[in-house]
Amino acid sequence: MDHSWSPSINVDDEFEKLVLRMNPPRVTVDNASDKKATLIKVDSANKRGSLLEVVQVLNDLNLIIRRAYISSDGGWFMDVFHVTDQYGNKVSEQNIVERIQQSLGPRGRSFRSLKRSVGVQTAAEHTTIELTGRDRPGLLSEVFAVLADLKCNVVAAEVWTHNSRMASVVYITDEANGMPIDDPDRLANIKQLLLYVLKGDRDKRSANTAVSVGSTHTERRLHQMMYADRDYDTDGVGFGSTSDRSKPLVTVESCADKGYTVVNLRCPDRPKLLFDTVCTLTDMQYVVFHATIIAEGPEASQEYYIRHMDGCPINSEAERQRVIHCLEAAIKRRTSEGIRLELCSDDRVGLLSDVTRIFRENGLSVTRAEVTTRGSQAVNAFYVTDASGYEVKSETIEAVRNEIGLTILHVKEDAYSNSPPQQTEKFSLGNLFRSRSEKFLYNLGLIRSYS
């Protein structure tokens, strides 16, 4: 038997796995120490991405992080999270311990940094399409119209917009058999037509296509996609951007005596805020050594002591400004602009194409969307503004509800939405965007005339 060393083995990775096996993560859930929150304590051998993996588990369990104390100097990290459920109640142990231990163990999933504008990947249950491009009114309607025409059923999707850019992860199956689409020629055709829609006549930054394999974490992936698409670039904020009045306060300062860079952040609190900021610091190749998070009121405060992966702090003004802009973007990507419309109905092929077409015909633009299928039910949420980015008038909303169905589409209050400003002088661009969008798709041969 040949026992010679194989160059394909990463010695550092194997050593890290050995350390984790010898020192498995210890997770405890404490409901006695705090009157208002549950304390989740995590002790583990330190590895790159440990903090993000723990925060992601808490995020996926829909837990609200009220406070957090993080320390990962040396080869060990110790985190304490004060959490509640979405209603402000303490949480029971349930499967929290097991989920965190699995995420931190030697078999924990690593995050891939993938760069593409239109990507397709196939999992066991569905095919995943990733889209990035310039945001514009009616874009989502055009995307769903293309997929419906190509006999693709959308089973889930999430869409973010920020700073004139759009990113989306869409999960599809074959309309005929409900199976993933894996035919290379068909996938190539889907990608090419979607790319054509995304580019339109203005966008030159989304001209690449790629195919990847494996599974993905939707929100994690959306952060990666928007970061790669440079939505933090502040050279001109266009359609779909968040109002400046919600702009977070981010400072980046040197802590020379300890060799750290200190990042302080203040902004209105909302769910998943910690996840969003930790994602960005990780994507930018920074390591969080210490952190204090306080989010027990309407405002959240976060303080991070960070270094580069090579152990160096930030040492230039340009890099300092880039960190500020990237963290601001990470926070504002998920800050929801517009009125929240919730749709619940029997799922059917083409439902999203029809609903978003009605939005477009009435001059509504989708700034964010969450599409899910629960059994035979479609449960979708859309944040909408008018085509100019202003708040939609109530008569327009009622007209849309009447057309889609009053019992199907509801207006919901969202405590964490950032409503756009009231329009002082109403003018409708709905017909203009409708005619341009329909002409565009009609010329592709993808839709019939709706006139």
Q: Domains, the chain, ranges and CATH? A: 15-110 (3.30.70.260), 118-218+336-444 (3.30.70.260)
CA distance 97 to 108: 14
Give bridge partners of residue 260 from the DSSP assignment.
Answer: 255
The first and second tokens of residue 269, run together, are 């609190």
Instruction: Look at residue 199 in the predicted model and tell me its pLDDT.
Output: 84
CA distance 272 to 275: 5
Phi then psi dihedrals of residue 450, to 5 deg: -100, 5
The first and second tokens of residue 371, run together, are 């599409």
In the block, tokens 């010679």 appear at 4
CA distance 198 to 65: 36
Among positive and negative, which fits the CA dihedral 166, 167, 171, 173?
positive
Instruction: Look at residue 337 in the predicted model and tell me its pLDDT.
Output: 82
Phi then psi dihedrals of residue 102, to 5 deg: -65, -40
Which DSSP category does 87 fall into? T
Instruction: Look at residue 399 in the predicted model and tell me its pLDDT.
Output: 96
CA distance 263 to 257: 16
Residue type, 296: E
Give bridge partners of residue 83 from the DSSP assignment.
Answer: 38, 65
CA distance 429 to 388: 8
Q: Are 46 and 289 in contact (CB under 8 A)?
A: no
Q: Residues 6 or more apart from 208 whose CB is under 8 A from it?
A: 116, 117, 118
Strands in 249-255's sheet, in edge-to-edge order, are: 26-30, 38-45, 76-84, 64-71, 286-294, 299-308, 260-268, 249-255
Which DSSP category does 256 fall into? T
DSSP secondary structure string for all residues of 160-219? EEETTEEEEEEEEEETTTSPPP--HHHHHHHHHHHHHHHHTTT--S---EEE--S---HH
Q: How many CA atoms lie within 13 A of 70 on its CB side?
A: 24
**Torsion of the alpha carbons at 262, 266, 267 and 269, rounded to the nearest 10:** 100
Instruction: Look at residue 353 in the predicted model and tell me its pLDDT.
Output: 94
CA distance 189 to 332: 34
The first and second tokens of residue 344, run together, are 């619940």
CA distance 226 to 212: 17
Q: Residues 6 or more apart from 154 whose CB is under 8 A from it?
A: 144, 147, 170, 171, 172, 352, 371
Chain CA centroid to CA 248, Å? 18
* Pair type for strands 118-122 and 209-211: parallel
- In which residue ranges of the chain is pLDDT below 50? 1-9, 109-116, 207-214, 236-243, 424-437, 440, 449-451
In the block, tokens 């390591």 appear at 287
Instruction: Name the residue among 57, 70, 40 with its Cα closest to residue 102.
Output: 57
Instruction: Name the residue among 160, 147, 415 with its Cα closest to residue 298.
Output: 415
Phi then psi dihedrals of residue 62, to 5 deg: 60, 35
Q: Are 429 and 387 in contact (CB under 8 A)?
A: yes
Count other Cβ atoms within 10 Å, centred on residue 210: 14
Helix (H) or strand (E) holding 274: helix 273-283
State whether residue 226 is helix, strand or coil: helix
Phi-psi region of 240 (alpha: psi -120 to 50; beta: other; left: phi over 0): left
Which DSSP category does 105 fall into? S
Q: Are 253 and 321 in contact (CB under 8 A)?
A: no
